[in-house]
Structure formats: C-alpha cells, structure tokens
Amino acid sequence: MINVRTDLAVEAREIYKNIHKREADGVIFKEDEKDDIKITTVEVTTPEGAEKIGKSIGKYITVDIPEYTHYDGELMDDVSKVVADYLADLIEVKEDKTALVIGLGNRNITPDALGPKVVEQMMITRHLKKVMPDTIDDSVRSVCALSPGVLGITGIETVEIVKAVVDKIKPSLVICIDALAARNLERINKTIQIGSTGISPGAGVGNNREGINEQSLGVPVIAIGVPTVVYASTIVNDSIDNIIDGLMEQTKNNKAFFSMLKDIDKNEKSALIKSMISEKGKDMIVTPKEIDVIIESVSKIISMSINKALQPNLEMEDINKFMN
C-alpha cells in the first residue's frame, strides 16, 4: 500500500479512520465553528494513539481558511483572530517573561518561505524593553525572533542554532513556524495547524531534521504550520482512485468487470503507481502557481495571530501602529 505523506494530524486521523472504519484508540477528535470558520481538534493522549496515526502525544488544532481572495483584508482579520484565540489558550508565559519566535524554512524558495516571512512581520520588543524601559509598558511582553536558515545554506543543523539561542536568552516559550505537506489538495494553503508538540524542520519538503520540541530545547514549543505543497505521488494515487471509481460507476452492470475493479489489491495499485513515476519524480512536490501572493497573505494572517496572542493587553490597532 502506498505511503501517502501528510504532516497534518487531522489528515492522519482521517486516513486511519478510513482504513479501519473507526477512531484510533487514544485519539480524541472534535469539530467546532467560530465566526463561520471551521476548527478541528485532534488530541493524541496515549503512546498507542501516537503510533496508530503517526503523530506525537499532544494537541493539534486545525483552522480551515474559507475561500477568499488573497486581498480580502476583512476575512484575513477574522481568521487571524480565531487563530490568535486558540493560540493564546496554549501560551502559558507570564508578562515579564520572553517568547522566542522561530521562522523555519528557506526564504529563497517560495513554498518554504513561510517561516521567514512571518518573522519579518513580528512585533519585536525584547531589545526595547531593555533600552527603553520607561517607554515600553510592563504589560507588553518581551518578544524576540529568529530565521535560522536551512542546513544547506548554513551548514548548521537548525536545532543547534535554536538551542544555542535558547540557552543564551532563556525564553519561557518557543513558537516555530514552518511549511508543511498535505494529503488533500483542498487543504493546500487553506489550513493552519497549531500543535503543542514542536516541529521537525524541513517536514514539508520531506527533509526531516532533528525535532525542535520541549525535549530538545528544555522549554515548551508551539508549532504553527501551513501545508504549501503536496507530493506528486499523492496526486497520481488520487487520480488512479478517481479513474477506478469512474470505471466502476460506468460498468456496474458488468458484474465481472465491476468485481475485478472492486477487488483491486492495494499493493498492486502501489506497484502500478511506482512504475508510473520515475526515480527522479517519486519525491517531486507540487505547489499552486500563485504561491507568491498566497505566502504573502498567509504569512500576514499568522503574524497577526501570533502578535495578538503574545500581546493580549494591546489592541490590533496598537500593534499595527508599533509595526509601522
């Protein structure tokens, strides 16, 4: 059976349920809606549940972005408020402590530039609280940020850079942003996942590095990700499924042929897919042609969400004035 790749807990849970026709033990699933925006929570509570769906123990909150043009400022504000509310519930940092925001990814590759783009739009206050203590109110939380680059450019593992910074400035919380890969084409650039378990740099492009999490850093790590790519093999797999479904519908009166299609072995289909994709193409990833404008828009949503969640005593208007 083909190994369909996804970094989204909500999709991992769906895949398990579709195969086994039931929820995985140790996995709690809940759906909600706020301001016409769908929110899905997958909570992995046991090691057995983690093994079954391939996700670490913790909470994964998925916010679905409604259909919108990437210039729809009002809807972007609505989504950012919802994300900020759920993000704030996971943040347990006193106002006199520091939060470190890490933008993972390669700013030179657009689908992987989400993290660095978010960092560029963060409300950074740590240095100001030190040099301008009389100007910056005590209610303004200390925030700093970093875009560490990628191993291929720096020659240094991302977790090594982040850990060195954490050891030096001693934040009480780390928030990581990274691009992900999705199973469902409909989720590309339309889903924001918030996780309490940290993140593996390079996850979205299949280049997993050592995890950035509480175990490796010694402080809580919140991960925020958006699926910006899908594997070509996933598209081929879905296309073959659609062809088979179409043939079954057209030949349902031909019992012999219908039965043959219905009984297609998953392993045989996997072998067929592998034979259709060349060695060079098996790890190929695909992203929408308008990815440039999408990344600009989604990075703004996430940066607004983080700014608001980290500065609950400030109105968005005040945060925007600070940024300008």
Please give the average per-residue pLDDT across 292-308, as a whole number: 95
User: What is the overall mean pLDDT for the chain?
Assistant: 86
Confidence at residue 294, expressed as pLDDT on a 0 to 100 scale: 92
- Mean pLDDT calculated for residue range 159-170: 96
Summarize pLDDT for 15-50 with one digit per residue, the tens. Answer: 899 888 999 999 999 999 988 899 999 999 999 999
Domain positions in the chain: 9-230+287-323, 235-276
Which pTM does this prediction carry?
Answer: 0.85
Return the pLDDT at 134. Answer: 74
Q: How many CB atoms lie within 10 A of CB 140?
A: 20
Confidence at residue 95, expressed as pLDDT on a 0 to 100 scale: 75
The pLDDT of residue 4 is 60
The answer for residues whose C-beta is within 8 angstroms of residue 166's C-beta and 6 or more apart is: 100, 174, 217, 218, 219
Average pLDDT over residues 54-82: 87
Whether residue 177 contacts residue 114, with contact meaning beta carbons closer than 8 Å, is answered with yes
Q: Give me the CATH code for the 9-230+287-323 domain, please.
A: 3.40.50.1450
**189-228: b or e for each residue (b if 16 or more CB lie within 10 Å)?**
bbbbbbbbbbbbbbbbbeeebebbbeebbebbbbbbbbbb
Weakest mean pLDDT among 60-74, 119-133, 159-173, 306-320? 60-74
**What's the CA gap between 197 and 213, in Å, rounded?**
6
8: burial class by Cβ within 10 Å (0-12, 13-18, 19+)?
buried
